[in-house]
Structure formats: C-alpha cells, structure tokens
C-alpha cells in the first residue's frame, strides 16, 4: 500500500450511543473509499467492523475495531468503538490516539444516555468533535428536535453544517452550508448530484450559513478580520475556520446521513479530508519527562500502545500510534517501562480482521505489530536515545461493579485464572483480583453488561463453566472497652507435654489512649497491619513469670486471631494488648504452648471487650438529571446512605453521599435502571465505621450458621 505523509492522514474515533449507526457508517465509509466492494449489514452479520462471534450473536459492537479508507488522496484511520457505557475503556483508548471524534447521533431519539457517556470521554480527552445525525430516512426522525437536544446538552457551539431537505422515508437531499449547494444522493450512495439551493430553502440556508460563518470566524483573529471586511468568508476560509475551531473546541459541526443507504457518506469523508486536523496540527504529545513529540518525521521514533488483542492464528496483537519519525519493519525500539529491547518484525495496517503488510509507517499513522516479547497496553516504545520516559498512560476508570467468580469444576481453577488474566491484558478496565481476606476470586468491572461479556467468553470460547455471585464484604472487627482474660494450655500425652499460661489485657487503640497504671510496661512493639489499623503489643511480665523467649510465640498466636477475628472471621484491628502475667513449666513449656495460650486468651478477652464489627464506607458522587434526583435520593436512603452535598453541573445535579460498601455492590445496575441509563457515579473508599447493632446481630448469626455448616 502507498505510504501516506503525516499531512495526508486523518485519525477519527467513531463514537456515540448504542444503536446510533457507528458500525453501519463505518461500512459505508469503507465502501465509498473502495477498500471493500460491497456494503455489509449488521442483520446479515457481514460487516467488516463487527466480526467477533459475540458481536455477530448480539448484533452490537463489543470491541473497538481499527479500520482505514482512502478519500481525496487522504488515508482516513477509523477506530470504531462500542456504544455501551460498560465498554467505556475502549472509547478512552481510542480518543487517546485519534485526532477528531466523529459522534453519531440517532436522528429518531437525539441525545441519549450513551451519547452523554461518549461526550464525557471526548470532553475529558479534549478531543475535537463533530456530530453526524444518522437514520434521517426513518419516519420517526426529526433533525430539528435533534439539533435542539444537541444544543440543549452541549451548548451553542453546536453548529449546523448540513441540514436535510426531506427527512423521513425517501430522504436523499441535503443542503450543504459550506458549499451553499443542494446535494442529492442516489439510494446506494456515491457522489451526490450538486445543484443550486432552491428558493424554498434560501432563507433558511442563508440564516444558518451566517451562523456557520460567524462560528467559524471566531476560531481565528485573522478570519474574524476578513469576515468584518468582506461580510463573508470563502469556502477555503470557512474550512480553515472550522478546522481551527475543531482544534480549539470552539465549534462542534453537525452533518447528516443515512448510513444504511450511503446518503451523505461521501460528504462526511470530504469534511474529514478538508476540515479535520491532521496529526501534526494537534498539540504536541509529551512524555513523562516533558519531551514533546509533534507527529513529525523529524522527531525520534516513538510509539504508544493503546490496545492489545489476542487473535486466532496471530497471537498477541499490539495496536499503536506512531508519534515521531518513520518506523520500518525489523526496527528495534526500547520499552520505556521495562528497559528491554523490542524488535518490530512485522507491521500491518488493519481493516478489522483484514490486515495488510507494510514496510514503513510514518509519524501520525496508526497500525499494528505482532508477537512482541513483553509489551502491554499503555507501553511506549522509543528510540534508544529517548527511552528514559514514555508517554502518559490514558486514565483507566475505577471499577464500579464487583462480583465473585469460581469454576463450577475445581479442576478448571487454574484455567479460569489464566483466562481472566488474559482478558485483563486486552481490557485494562477489567480488574482481576484474588482476595486472600475474602478467599474469593473477584472480577471488578464497569457494570453487569461487562461481566456478562466475560461470562459469554468463558462459556462459549474457553469452555469453562463458572458460578458468579455477590462478593463477601471485607468487614473489620475491633473492641470498644478494656477487658482481661487468662488461658492455660495444658496437654499431656506421654513423654513431654505442653504447658503455657497467659494473662493479658486488651483495650481499644486510638491516638492518645491511656496506658494502665497497675503494672509496668517493659517493652512495646507497634505493628502497622496490612489491612489497616494497628496492633500494639506490650510485654508487662515481671519476675520471670514467662520467659522472654516465649513472647514472640504469644504475639504470633494473637496475630493469628487478628487475621481471623472471633466474631465473623474478618480481620481485627486497632487493639492494644498487655501480657502481664503467666506461668511456665520447666519441662513442658514450649513455643506452641504459649502460642495457643496467647491466642485463646486474646479470643476470650475480645468477646468481653464490647466487640464491634466495622464496615467499609464509600464516598460516592452521582451525576443525574435534575428530574431524577428524588428517585435516586430515596434509593440511597434505603441503602443506609447519608447525603453530604448537592451541586448543579450543567443540566445535571451531582449528589455526594456516604454509603456502606455492603449496600452498593451492584449499584451500577440499579442506578442505570432508576435513571434510564443517564445516571453515572464514581466511588472512593472513605473509612471503616461501626455497623448498626441490628446489622451486627444479623452478621453474627450468619457467621455462626456458616461455621456449623463447615463443621
């Protein structure tokens, strides 16, 4: 394939709501660019973009696809991303390497919940955005209502560049406000028939044309002066103004299409070619040490891995954008994360699963390579002279939905762990963690839909039957008052026996706690616990009642009980222990005896010291439309949540609340249901707090029952 210069490359993230027509418009663009010879459809399961078995079965995108087409001697790279919010990681990754976001809008429904999700990611990435209102051939489509909803949500920077003449069944005609011409398309797409704007549309087109000129001129002082001087702008000046406005996010153009019939497709491609920035026109991309790469062939070779996939017959595939220089097949680069050399033995450009071998990639282009030794998503491969720092990894959203999983057949445990870790490698938003505390394998994801995708792959591709269930809550146990206890461990079974007797006192740990006055503290060990909190262990023994060599054994016994608390088996924390007396036997005393005596004395004291179960509490921020606040707040109160603040954010309200972790394990699903998908939230661990007495009683009973079942 021809090697395109940086100036002739356009990188587009194809984003938007589910069912807005992203896959269909991608198919149409590839067809018009003549890289495919027929236009596939989702219904016929033969589109280029959706080719994974799960996508064919579900008839929607699950994975992002890298595509390319050619138009006007420009290479247009497209990263088509899934529309559902659970796959937001794919959108974030695509926006991190593309130069413009093309956001598809369903002309029947306007701004939807998934539209807002895509917009938030584009806004966070600072991406230039233009809209394509699709499905204008449907009888329920309304371009005017869609424009109103776009402006309502995203502001007056939303600017009409095209509008339809005959929305609904039979839609084929568009007024183009840059060309100031009428474009009539054939039912199978192609280049339109261009004619003058009819008299019936002149007033409307001139009014919208003036708005477009004003918004285009605002992006540049020189253009604004030309506009003031001449009262208009030329086509080239308007295109320049739109390009500059896109870069500065001061204009969000709107185009029209019926992707299914190819109507408007070539004009969208023309807009991408003539009005969207090339990679070198965007702000420079910086490494973590501040070096700038401007997508120039004069820069050192530097690339960023934004996606990893595992393909049948190919193995591991690394998707990258080249930010500097020219990359040739067989070239060696340094992984800035590991410091190791990586040889890029083969380079390919992609149309989803269809790959084409190339010998060279220039700065600004997006491509793939295969079979690298130790490379993962987020890595940078650099020229050896500049390998001290790589590019910043894009932000991975925090997990919002956690489940526990186990293999139905224990012989599949190892395979399950291996497959899940492989899935994490291809989807960093999917976090796999084995909790030693809970003794559970956890999947932390973006939502229930995300987990169902994992389950589908396990069942259908890897043939691993699994059980998915609610994870346990990582409770903590502590005490609220001081208590004493003693325990004698005595065992005689022929020969030498076991003997150890320990007297101890425990009290709650907090800053400024008071030490006892009725016995001396001879030595103190402070242990910062891995799970939070402290254990303060004091040796207060006088007169040699317990030999100093047995103190570590007593501590070990206590620590074992801290690891598995007496109430529910959860970790214990924030306790001060004083070992103040005991007895030994000259022959039978040993370490195991004192470990058991210390452990049992601690358990007895713990149960007398006003024991309390503590639960994790999270601070959550929920962004919801104002008219849905009441339902959300009512639901939070039912989850023992405490509202701590509210503030407006555009059309939405942000509710801040503190909610126990036990009450929000599947909150993502509930919030989506309550708000029809428009509510989003973030959560952050805040603190451990005591559970209410009724909750504690319930937990104690459940633990007792579980212990009976195990015994």
- Rounded to whole angstroms, the Cα distance separating 539 from 566 reads 23
What pLDDT is recorded for position 428? 95
Residue 359 counted as domain residue: no
Residues 195, 84, single domain; the answer is: yes
- b (16+ CB within 10 A) / e for 463-498: ebebeeeebbbbbbbbbeebbebbbebeeeeeeeeb
Strands 571-572 and 476-478: parallel
pLDDT, tens only, 91-131:
999 999 999 999 999 999 999 989 999 999 999 999 999 99
Residue that finishes a domain, picked among 281, 298, 328: 281
In terms of domains, do 494 and 464 share one?
A: no
Calculate Rg over the CA atoms of the chain. 32
CATH code of the domain covering residue 534: 3.30.230.10
Reported as a pLDDT band with limits 50, 70 and 90, residue 494 is: low
Domain assignment present for residue 689? The answer is yes
In this predicted structure, the answer to whether residue 711 has a pLDDT above a threshold of 60 is: no
Any idea what the CATH number is for the domain that residue 658 is in?
3.30.70.240
List Cβ neighbours of 313 (8 Å cut-off, separation of 6 or more). none
Which of 281, 300, 328 corresponds to the end of one domain? Answer: 281
Query: Is 229 found in the same domain as 106?
Result: yes
Same domain? For 517 and 639 the reply is no
Specify whether 549 is located in the same domain as 653.
Answer: no
**Proportion of the chain above pLDDT 90, given as a percent:** 83
pTM of the model: 0.90
Query: Residue 409: which CATH number?
Result: 3.30.70.870
Q: Are residues 568 and 675 in the same domain?
A: no
Asked if the structure places residue 393 within a domain, the reply is no
Non-local CB neighbours of 65 within 8 Å, separated by 6+ positions: 26, 48, 49, 50, 51, 79, 80, 350, 352
Question: Which pLDDT score is estimated for 283?
Answer: 94
Residue 710 lies in a domain: no
Instruction: Identify the burial level of 549 via C-beta atoms within 10 angstroms of its C-beta, where 0-12 means exposed, 13-18 middle and 19 or more buried.
Output: exposed
Q: With beta carbons less than 8 A apart as the criterion, state whether 276 and 40 touch.
A: no
Phi-psi region of 413 (alpha: psi -120 to 50; beta: other; left: phi over 0): alpha
Overall average pLDDT of the 179-198 stretch: 94
- pLDDT of the residue at 218: 85
**Domain-embedded: residue 501:** yes
Backbone angles phi and psi of 678, in degrees to 5: -85, -15
Note whether 625 and 516 are same-domain residues: no
For residues 245 and 129, membership in a common domain is answered with yes
Above 80 in pLDDT, residue 493? Answer: no
Number of domains within the chain: 5
Mean pLDDT of 488-503: 87
Residue pointed to by tokens 């420009």 = 74
Residues 327, 229: one domain?
no
Q: Which segment of 102-111, 211-220, 471-480 scores lowest on mean pLDDT?
A: 211-220
Torsion over CA: 91, 93, 98, 99 (sign): positive
Q: In CATH, what number is assigned to the domain containing residue 130? A: 3.40.50.300
Give per-residue pLDDT as tens, 318-342.
999 999 999 999 999 999 999 999 9
Q: Which is nearest to 457 in space by CA: 400, 396, 415, 429?
A: 415
Q: Where are the alpha helices (DSSP H) in 367-430?
A: 413-426
Q: Does residue 622 lie in a domain region?
A: yes
Q: Look at residue 85 and tell me if it is in a domain.
A: yes
* Between 187 and 303, the higher pLDDT residue: 303
Query: In this structure, is residue 704 part of a structural domain?
Result: no
- Together in a domain, 201 and 148: yes
Q: What are phi and psi of 148, to 5 degrees?
A: -60, -40
Predicted confidence (pLDDT) per residue in 155-172, tens digit: 999 999 999 999 999 999
Q: Do 198 and 298 share a structural domain?
A: no
Final residue of a structural domain among 472, 495, 521:
472
3-state helix, strand, coil in the chain (%, to 5): 30, 35, 35
- CA 199 vs. chain centroid, Å, equals 51
**Matching residue, tokens 């023992």:** 640
Q: At 322, which helix (H) or strand (E)? A: strand 315-324
Contact 94, 81 (CB under 8 A): yes
* Structural domain of 577: 477-610
Q: Do 62 and 129 sit in the same domain of this protein?
A: yes
Residues 31-79 have pLDDT tens digits of 999 999 888 888 888 888 888 889 888 888 999 999 999 999 999 999 9
């Amino acid at each position: 394939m021809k090697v395109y210069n940086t100036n002739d490359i356009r990188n587009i993230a194809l984003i938007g709501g589910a069912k807005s027509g992203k896959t269909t418009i991608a198919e149409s663009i590839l067809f018009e660019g003549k890289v495919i010879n027929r236009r596939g459809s989702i219904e016929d399961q033969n589109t280029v973009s959706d080719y994974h078995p799960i996508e064919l079965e579900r008839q929607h995108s699950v994975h992002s696809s890298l595509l390319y087409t050619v138009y006007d001697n420009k290479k247009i790279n497209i990263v088509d991303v899934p529309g559902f919010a659970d796959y937001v990681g794919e959108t974030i990754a695509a926006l991190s390497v593309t130069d413009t976001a093309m956001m598809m809008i369903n002309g029947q429904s306007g701004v939807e919940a998934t539209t807002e999700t895509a917009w938030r990611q584009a806004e966070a990435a600072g991406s230039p955005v233009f809209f394509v209102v699709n499905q204008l051939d449907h009888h329920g489509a309304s371009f005017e209502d869609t424009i109103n909803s776009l402006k309502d949500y995203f502001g007056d920077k939303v600017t009409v560049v095209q509008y339809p003449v005959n929305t609904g069944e039979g839609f084929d005609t568009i007024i183009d406000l840059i060309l100031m011409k009428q474009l009539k398309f054939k039912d199978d797409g192609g280049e339109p028939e261009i004619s003058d704007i009819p008299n019936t549309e002149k007033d409307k087109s001139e009014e919208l044309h003036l708005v477009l000129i004003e918004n285009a001129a605002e992006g540049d002082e020189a253009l604004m002066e030309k506009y003031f001087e001449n009262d208009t702008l030329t086509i080239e000046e308007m295109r320049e103004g739109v390009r500059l406005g896109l870069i500065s996010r001061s204009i969000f153009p709107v185009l029209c299409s019926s992707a299914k019939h190819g109507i408007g497709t070539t004009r969208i491609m023309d807009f991408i070619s003539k009005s969207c920035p090339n990679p070198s026109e965007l702000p420079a991309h910086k490494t973590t040490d501040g070096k700038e790469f401007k997508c120039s062939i004069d820069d050192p070779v530097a690339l960023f891995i934004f996606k990893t996939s595992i393909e049948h017959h190919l193995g591991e595939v690394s998707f990258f954008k080249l930010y500097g220089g020219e990359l040739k097949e067989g070239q060696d680069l340094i992984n800035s994360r590991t410091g190791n050399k990586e040889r890029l033995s083969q380079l390919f450009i992609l149309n989803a699963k269809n790959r084409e071998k190339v010998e060279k990639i220039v700065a600004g282009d997006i491509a793939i390579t295969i079979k690298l030794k130790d490379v993962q998503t987020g890595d940078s491969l650099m020229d050896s002279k500049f390998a001290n720092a790589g590019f910043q990894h894009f932000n991975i959203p925090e997990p919002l939905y956690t489940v526990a999983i186990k293999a139905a057949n224990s012989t599949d445990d190892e395979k399950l762990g291996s497959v899940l870790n492989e899935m994490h490698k291809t989807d960093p938003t999917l976090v796999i963690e084995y909790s030693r505390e809970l003794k559970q394998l956890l999947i932390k994801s973006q939502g229930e839909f995300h987990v169902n995708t994992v389950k589908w792959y396990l069942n259908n591709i890897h043939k691993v039957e699994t059980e998915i269930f609610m994870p346990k809550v990582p409770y903590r146990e502590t005490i609220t008052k001081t208590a004493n206890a003693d325990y004698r461990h005595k065992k005689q079974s022929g020969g030498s026996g076991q003997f150890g007797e320990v007297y101890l006192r425990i009290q709650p740990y907090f800053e400024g706690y008071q030490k006892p006055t009725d016995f001396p503290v001879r030595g103190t060990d402070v242990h910062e616990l891995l799970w939070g909190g402290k254990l303060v262990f004091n040796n207060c023994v006088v007169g040699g009642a317990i030999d100093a060599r047995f103190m570590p054994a007593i501590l070990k016994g206590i620590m074992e009980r801290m690891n598995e608390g007496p109430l529910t088996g959860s970790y214990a924390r924030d306790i001060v222990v004083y070992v103040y007396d005991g007895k030994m036997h000259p022959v039978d005393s040993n370490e195991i005896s004192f470990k058991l005596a210390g452990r049992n004395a601690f358990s007895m004291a713990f149960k007398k010291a006003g024991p309390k179960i503590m639960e994790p509490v999270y601070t959550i921020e929920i962004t919801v439309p104002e008219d849905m606040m009441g339902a959300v707040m009512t639901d939070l109160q039912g989850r023992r949540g405490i509202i701590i603040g509210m503030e407006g954010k555009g059309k939405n309200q942000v509710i801040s609340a503190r909610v126990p972790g036990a009450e929000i394990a599947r909150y993502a699903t509930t919030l989506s249901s309550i708000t029809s998908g428009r509510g989003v939230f973030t959560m952050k661990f805040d603190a451990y707090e005591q559970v209410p007495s009724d909750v504690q009683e319930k937990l104690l009973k459940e633990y007792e029952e579980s212990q009976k079942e195990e015994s």
